[in-house]
Amino acid sequence: RHDDTFPAVAVRVLAAPAEATGELAALTDLPALAQGEGDLGARIAAAFATLFAQGFGPVLLIGADSPTLPPAHLHTALALAATRPEAVVLGPAADGGYWCVGLSRAVPGLFEAIAWSTASVLAETERRAGEVGLAVVRAPAWHDVDEPADLDRLHEDLRRDPAAAPHTRALLAALATRRGAL
């Protein structure tokens, strides 16, 4: 959780399926909204539309699969979203996707015609941005945890920084204990 690091930022969590909104709000102690339906692009577009309709902006959506993301990367992405309203902010992930996407306004069509969950998501989103007349600015690159092999990098991050991702660390320890008991 980074909400304590950014006191002037309104943090919301997005739940899928919609029925999980209450459970996610209770688990995170943060307001939760339904992601919406459809592929990832449709859900991203719906999240932006919902948050802009509620008066938020600029909006930075952050993936939940980068638990060791440095706060400095968030600061940079937030600053870019606030100062570059003509652009989409993308935080590249090592796997070809992105750990964040930021906008200052809704941009119809930006998240359409993209092959989601592939190594080309970042490149395709940048292509779509050009097609809809939007500049692209990049936040610092980071990595996420999508595949079992990504756990090695996560373990290395946690080893290097004992204070990083305490909830993730606790979950991994509990899973290791449970696995050892089997």
- Structural domain boundaries in the chain: 13-146, 147-182
Task: Work out the burial of residue 16: count CB atoms within 10 Å of its CB; fewer than 13 is exposed, 13-18 middle, 19 or more buried.
Answer: middle
| Cβ atoms of residues 163 and 85 within 8 Å | no
pLDDT at 7: 59
pLDDT at 106: 93
Per the DSSP assignment, residues forming a β-bridge with 59 are 103
Torsion of CA 79, 159, 24, 181, to 10 degrees: 170
| Cβ atoms of residues 164 and 71 within 8 Å | no
Whole-model pTM: value is: 0.88
Give dist(CA 35, CA 13) in Å, integer. 9
Q: What is the mean pLDDT of each run of 10 residues along the chain (182 residues)?
A: 62 91 92 92 95 95 92 95 96 96 96 96 98 98 91 90 89 84 52
Task: Give φ, ψ of 155 to 5 degrees.
Answer: -60, -40
Give dist(CA 74, CA 3) in Å, integer. 11
pLDDT at 3: 46
13-146 to CATH, choices 3.40.50.880, 3.90.550.10, 2.30.31.70, 3.40.605.10: 3.90.550.10
Give dist(CA 175, CA 79) in Å, integer. 37
